[in-house]
Amino acid sequence: MGPARETLRIDKWLWQARFFKTRSLAARVVSAGKLRVNGTRVTKPSATVGPGDTLTFPQARRIRVVRVLALGERRGPAPEAQALYDDLTPPEESVPGAPRPEGKGRPTKKERRKFDPFRRSPLD
């Protein structure tokens, strides 16, 4: 039998890699069944992860896909945390918003009427 593979609890690794501010937040995401390890859904924060595993999970309004490169010893500074993973998340595409004034100062009443169709009503 080969050497044992190094592993770490998934909630602890997500916290050390600075994806979540607290370990309990990371555990909550895992417990809710929102994390996948190598395509398999994981629901226990005590599940282990090791180098080479691919994780898929929601973070804010994005779906993150990362490959684990190393296990951390501690929750260190951001550059140290970024060395623990390879980010495979595709870059976000910018969505064009409403047109903006050209920056010539405050728009006139006539110019503001052009933007009304793009604004939401406060009652919506």
Q: For the segment 30-62, what is each residue's pLDDT rounded down to a tens digit?
A: 999 999 999 999 999 999 999 999 999 998 888
> Rounded to an integer, what distance in angstroms lies between the CA atom of residue 4 and that of residue 122?
60
Query: 120 lies in a domain?
Result: no
Q: What is the overall mean pLDDT for the chain?
A: 88
Number of compact structural domains in the chain:
1
| Cα–Cα distance measured from residue 20 to residue 43, given in angstroms and rounded to the nearest whole number | 17
Residue 122 covered by a domain: no
Between 34 and 103, residue with greater pLDDT: 34
Residues in the chain: 124
pLDDT reading at 122 higher than 70: no
Counting beta carbons within 10 angstroms of the beta carbon of residue 34, is it exposed (0 to 12), middle (13 to 18) or buried (19 or more)? middle
Query: How does DSSP classify residue 102?
Result: -
> Domain with 63 in it: what CATH number?
3.10.290.10
- Residue 60 is assigned to a structural domain of this protein: yes
Whole-number pLDDT of residue 2 = 65
Is the pLDDT at 100 greater than 80? The verdict is: no
Convert 36-66 to b/e letters by CB count within 10 Å (16 or more is b).
Answer: ebeeeebeebeebbeeebbbbbeeeeeebeb
Residue 85: both structure tokens together: 């993973």
- Asked which of 4-8, 13-17, 92-96 is least confident by mean pLDDT, the reply is 92-96
Full residue range of the structural domain in which residue 44 is found: 8-87
Amino acid at 25: L
Query: 57-80, pLDDT tens digit by residue?
Result: 998 888 999 999 999 999 999 999
Angstrom distances, CA of residue 117 to CA of 99, 112, 114, 121: 11, 10, 7, 10
Q: What is the pLDDT of residue 95?
A: 62
Taking Cα atoms as reference points, which of 82, 91, 90 lies closest to residue 19?
Answer: 82
Mean pLDDT confidence for 73-89: 94
